[in-house]
């Protein structure tokens, strides 16, 4: 594989950038693989990469119905954080933060990781107390957390509404300085390029139409490009999880819902951090191009449509304007939607299933992007070793049976309530 560097850039400039190697090939599927990963999104690509890199399993195919990175890894708001209170989530995400920090070097691909810090705003004394508790829990798990008072928040984001007589005055906030953003497409492409170079077949425009299960063991996958045999199969398909589960006669604690995001027209740099509104569900950061990147609530009813509805967008942006009044002056550039695999406790599932050789990675709700490296790393371990790693032992499928839920937000099964 051609190494990307300033020298290769200069060298290729002489040939008008016409001679770059393709970043990944477009192979026809083989008859059989050791492992098939279904879903060429961030998590699937990362899984294949870590299978090859950490476990030396390279006879691997990624099967993707559309094109790689066309789902949620290309549709998110690029936020990376580990500001969780529960141990399972905190340790898992913080492990991921470490992978994020090394990712550009590791993949030889600039993922533009920008640890600009996230500030969760608080609008009451009670919320400050809750954040203080969450911050302490984070610090006990080795995650950086700083409780900011009103003046400290104002110093960092003076453009927020600090005027008198606002409905939700800013009391302060909880900041994780090491959180940030990354270039989402680059994450997919970087993993794809490295996985491909180690021998992984990335098969695009290939839809899974069924599974071959024999005596409780997976033996292959039926696809629109023919039947492919496999010793092990991993599902990494986010919002489409239930569609595949139905083919396997499995019913999962997952509902598919739609989440929208949007960007404004680009403006000069004014927002240094990722900021979330504490009296509703709205988050905002500024991209390197200058666009304000915004998101918030689910549309609120089961949906596979990948495009959103205006009432929710209006509601979300009303919250945004309450927090940052200047947003009302900006034009909207683009809006889009992605379909989320909402689990019944808000936490993911990375586990084996009752079918031998079939592994499940789903339930990321609207927090899947930041989890990409840790999810891929632990899922690769689970598949390669046929047992869960300590880091994803809490993310079991069985926890709904045993009552060991990880309900970070305390929302229960009503995933559409935010």
Nearer to other proteins among residue 201 and residue 341 (C-beta):
341
Shortest CB 350 distance to other proteins, Å? 17
Shortest CB 345 distance to other proteins, Å? 8
Nearer to other proteins among residue 19 and residue 224 (C-beta):
224
Nearer to other proteins among residue 3 and residue 354 (C-beta):
354
Helix (H, G, I), strand (E, B) or coil at 105: helix
How far apart CA 315 and CA 310 sit, in angstroms, is 9
Placement of tokens 């299933």 in the chain: 353
Shortest CB 372 distance to other proteins, Å? 23
How far apart CA 66 and CA 78 sit, in angstroms, is 21
Question: Alpha helix locations (H) across 86-124?
Answer: 87-107
Which residues of this chain interact with other proteins, rule CB under 8 A?
242-243, 246, 251-256, 300-305, 309-311, 344, 400-401, 413-414, 416
Nearer to other proteins among residue 163 and residue 401 (C-beta):
401
C-alpha dihedral, 248 to 345 to 340 to 294, nearest 10°: -170
Shortest CB 192 distance to other proteins, Å? 26
Shortest CB 353 distance to other proteins, Å? 14
Nearer to other proteins among residue 162 and residue 416 (C-beta):
416
How far apart CA 265 and CA 334 sit, in angstroms, is 8
Nearer to other proteins among residue 59 and residue 302 (C-beta):
302
Nearest to 121 by CA among 81, 170, 80, 176: 170
Nearer to other proteins among residue 323 and residue 340 (C-beta):
340
Shortest CB 154 distance to other proteins, Å? 35
The number of beta carbons lying within 10 Å of the beta carbon of residue 55 is: 15
Nearer to other proteins among residue 115 and residue 253 (C-beta):
253
How far apart CA 48 and CA 102 sit, in angstroms, is 18
End-to-end CA distance of the chain: 46
Q: How buried is residue 125: exposed, middle or buried, by Cβ count under 10 Å (0-12/13-18/19+)?
A: exposed
For 372-387, b/e burial (b = at least 16 CB within 10 A) is bbbbbbbbbbbbbeee
Placement of tokens 């869960």 in the chain: 388
Nearer to other proteins among residue 20 and residue 304 (C-beta):
304
Shortest CB 416 distance to other proteins, Å? 5
How far apart CA 87 and CA 354 sit, in angstroms, is 27
Which residues share a beta bridge with 234?
37, 359
Shortest CB 229 distance to other proteins, Å? 27
CB–CB of 313/359 below 8 Å?
Answer: no
Shortest CB 69 distance to other proteins, Å? 22
For 131, phi then psi, to 5°, come to -70, -35
Which residues lie below 8 Å from residue 232, measured CB to CB, with a gap of 6+? Answer: 34, 35, 36, 218, 357, 358, 359, 383
What does 370-405 look like in DSSP terms, one character per residue?
Answer: TTHHHHHHHHHHHHHHSS--GGGTTS-TTHHHHT--
Nearer to other proteins among residue 98 and residue 246 (C-beta):
246
Shortest CB 360 distance to other proteins, Å? 14
């Amino acid at each position: 594989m051609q190494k990307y560097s300033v020298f290769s850039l200069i060298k290729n400039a002489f040939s008008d950038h016409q001679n770059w190697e393709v970043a990944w090939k477009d192979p026809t599927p083989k008859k059989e693989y050791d492992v098939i990963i279904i879903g060429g999104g961030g998590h699937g690509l990362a899984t294949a990469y870590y299978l090859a890199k950490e476990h030396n399993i390279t006879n691997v195919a990624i099967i993707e119905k559309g094109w790689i990175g066309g789902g949620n890894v290309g549709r998110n708001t690029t936020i990376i954080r580990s500001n969780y209170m529960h141990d399972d989530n905190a340790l898992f995400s913080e492990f991921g933060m470490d992978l994020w920090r090394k990712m550009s070097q590791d993949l030889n691909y600039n993922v533009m990781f920008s640890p600009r810090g996230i500030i969760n705003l608080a609008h009451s004394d009670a919320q400050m107390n809750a954040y203080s508790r969450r911050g302490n829990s984070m610090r006990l798990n080795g995650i950086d957390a700083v409780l900011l008072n009103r003046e400290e928040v104002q110093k960092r984001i003076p453009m927020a509404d600090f005027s008198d007589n606002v409905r939700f005055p800013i009391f302060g906030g909880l900041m994780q300085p090491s959180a940030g953003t990354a270039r989402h497409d680059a994450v997919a492409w970087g993993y794809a390029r490295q996985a491909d170079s180690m021998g992984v077949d990335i098969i695009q425009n290939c839809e899974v139409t069924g599974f071959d299960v024999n005596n409780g063991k997976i033996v292959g996958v039926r696809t629109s490009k023919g039947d492919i045999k496999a010793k092990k199969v991993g599902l990494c398909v986010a919002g489409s999880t239930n569609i595949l589960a139905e083919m396997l006669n499995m019913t999962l604690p997952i509902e598919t819902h739609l989440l929208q995001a949007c960007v404004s027209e680009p403006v000069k740099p004014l927002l240094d951090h990722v900021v979330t509104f504490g009296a509703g569900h709205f988050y905002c950061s500024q991209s390197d191009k200058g666009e304000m990147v915004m998101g918030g609530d689910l549309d609120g009813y089961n949906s596979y449509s990948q495009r959103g509805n205006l009432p929710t967008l209006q509601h979300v942006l009303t919250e945004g304007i309450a927090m940052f009044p200047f947003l009302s002056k900006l034009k909207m550039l683009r809006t889009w939607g992605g379909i989320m695999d909402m689990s019944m406790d808000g936490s993911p599932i990375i586990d084996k299933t009752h079918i031998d050789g079939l592994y499940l990675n789903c339930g990321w709700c609207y927090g899947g992007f930041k989890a990409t490296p840790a999810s891929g790393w632990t899922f690769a371990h689970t598949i390669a070793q046929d047992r869960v790693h300590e880091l994803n032992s809490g993310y079991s499928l069985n926890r709904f049976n045993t009552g060991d839920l990880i309900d970070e937000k305390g929302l229960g099964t009503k995933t559409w309530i935010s």
